[in-house]
A and B are shown apart, each in its own frame.
Chain A
């Protein structure tokens, strides 16, 4: 489809002059608070699970305890760590591959452009979650494999954004000047184009992060997650089994997932990419 329409659809138009909506600040605060929890989480592993089960939220256990007497706050924090790790991993991988491909397609010969963009189209039309299920079946739910699959399934979005930006930059004066001075495409890409191309790429990072979280949680929810790590999806599934007796066991992990993905989505404050969160 037409590049401009694509870019505008994803980035919400050239709205740089709009006033930032008030909830962005709140979303940022929530995210920072959650990240700070990363350093606080852990707790004493030898004391894990020594409390009474099904305690409602109260003193000593801010989120209550689960069916095996474990403090739910600690479990949720553990799950948050996993989610953050997966989110960061997937986002980094998708950005790295996507930027590289986008740059190469935009700056290289037209044949490379065509091939790379076609490859992006093909990868984008693969059902990422179903492939993640296959990978989970083969590799036993390993979280490393999952991050690889999700990251390698999401790069086309980034590549397209970067390509479009690079395409519009190619004709600009500073690039032509650099070419005239004899700079190689590699140097042009790295020094001149990359900084500008990063902006749209990074605007997609919120979407990538949120999508990775939701996918990991969904897989863990149906039982295909990594059994050696605590995952919010797994906590939500376990919590649902006991929702009639101890609703906090379900509310806490779901609230945690929402608390992670909503601010991220709002921070991007752009409509989500159409092929994300598959």
Chain B
């Protein structure tokens, strides 16, 4: 084969298909996990749905209604089938379909996570650039970053609340909407954005430190390459060298790595939402888990996995745009 002849599974369509296939597999694993955990619950799946000390009559009723006495394989296939149709089951506690509960909360969580990701990435890359200076005087920045990224997110959040909400009074303490005056329209959106500032900051600070460390490593690595010396010899300023060459070349894998952080942000939002009383998916997961509302939590697992997979796919595609070699080689 000549150098330009590609195997059929390479190239752009191949990349997209590969990523999607992997994503579907991941979601299937998550869904199967959910099924297995409900079946494996101590006391049986009916107890998982209703709780430890439910009356015997109720347990029988639920067993009949959900077909829990049918063979496992059949139940599993039905579960997958329902998932494919978008039916995530019914929450007994809320007397509502899980998919509805999730759809109500998802926008809040996305409004929290996406800005946090963007903010963290931008600030992190900037910090990483600064810290990647091969000259010794910025080494301490790396030390600080290493320290910051190990602080638990709720500690950061609580400090932010203490200082900015209670201390300075610039931001509210809780909630997404002002209970006194629920307006509508654009003013409402602005209000919500203001109320989301502290939570987004809390989430972003940690992730920023992470991204900065990643960026620093990648950029420092690039700066060791021979072509940098060439660029410097050409007379480019240090800053231009770093930005135009090192960063540009570090970008594709960095973007992919940042995409992987999204999974961590999903986890971090759980604590932040609970602290700030935001009506998002993280808080729904926690309150459902505390009430032993298993179907809702299992549904959230599947949805969270799907979202993480989607973001990773998008990020991989962006990286491939930045570095076409990725599409050409088999990953």
Flag the segment in B60-68, B84-92, B96-104, B258-266 that touches A. B258-266
The 6 A-B pairs at the shortest CB distance, nearest first, are namely: A129-B267, A137-B289, A261-B150, A274-B260, A274-B257, A271-B213
List of A residues within 8 angstroms of B271 by Cβ: 218, 221-222
* Tally of B interface residues using CB under 8 Å: 70
Cα distance, A269 to B149, chains bound together (Å): 12
Q: Which of B75-83, B188-196, B216-224, B237-245 contacts A (4 or more CB under 8 A)?
A: B216-224
Q: How far is the CB of A101 from chain B (nearest CB, A)?
A: 16
Choose one: A23, A122, A133, A135; the contact of B25 (CB below 8 Å). Answer: A122
Verify if B22 is at the interface (C-beta below 8 Å from A).
yes
Most interface-central of A6, A125, A214, A215 (chain B CB within 10 A)? A125
Question: In the complex, what residues of B have CB within 8 A of residue A174's CB?
Answer: none
Give which listed residue, A5, A134, A210, contacts B34 with CB less than 8 A. Answer: A134
By beta carbon, the residue of chain A nearest B143 is A23
Q: Which of B38, B152, B288, B326 contacts A214 (CB 8 A)?
A: B152
The answer to whether A129 touches B253, judged by C-beta atoms less than 8 angstroms apart, is no
Task: From the candidates B213, B263, B285, B298, name the one contacting A278 in the complex (CB within 8 A).
Answer: B263
Known: A129-B266, A130-B300, A133-B289. 11 other contacts (CB 8 A): A5-B253, A9-B214, A125-B22, A128-B263, A130-B270, A130-B305, A136-B289, A137-B294, A138-B40, A214-B152, A274-B260
CA distance A274 to B271 in the complex (A): 20
At the interface with chain A, which of B3-11, B115-123, B153-161, B167-175?
B153-161
**Interface membership of A52, Cβ < 8 A:** no
Given the complex, which residues of B lie within 8 Å of A222, measured CB to CB?
270-271, 274, 286
A125 near B308 with CB under 8 A, answer yes
B48 close to A (CB within 8 Å): yes
By a beta-carbon cutoff of 8 Å, the part of chain A in contact with chain B is 1-2, 5-6, 8-9, 12-13, 21, 23, 118, 121-131, 133-139, 210, 214-215, 217-218, 221-224, 233, 236, 240, 243, 250, 254, 257-258, 261-262, 264-266, 269-272, 274-278
CA distance A138 to B291 in the complex (A): 11
**B216:A276 contact, CB within 8 angstroms:** no
Bitwise interface map of B from 129 to 171 toward A, beta carbon under 8 Å scored 1, else 0: 0000000000100010011011111110010001000000000
| Residue of chain B at shortest CB distance from A266 | B146
Q: Please name the residue on chain B nearest to A240 by beta carbon.
A: B158
Known: A9-B257, A137-B289. A125 touches B216 (CB 8 A): no
Given A5-B253, A129-B267, A218-B153, CB of A134 within 8 Å of CB of B25: no
Query: How far does the alpha carbon of A277 sit from the alpha carbon of B288 in the complex, in Å?
Result: 23
- Chain A residues whose C-beta falls within 8 Å of the C-beta of B267 in the assembled complex: 127-130, 215, 218, 277-278
Residue of chain A at shortest CB distance from B220: A13
Show 17 A/B contacts (Cβ-Cβ < 8 Å), sorted by A. A1-B253, A1-B331, A8-B221, A121-B26, A125-B22, A126-B33, A127-B301, A131-B33, A133-B270, A138-B38, A139-B42, A214-B150, A222-B271, A262-B150, A265-B147, A271-B217, A277-B210
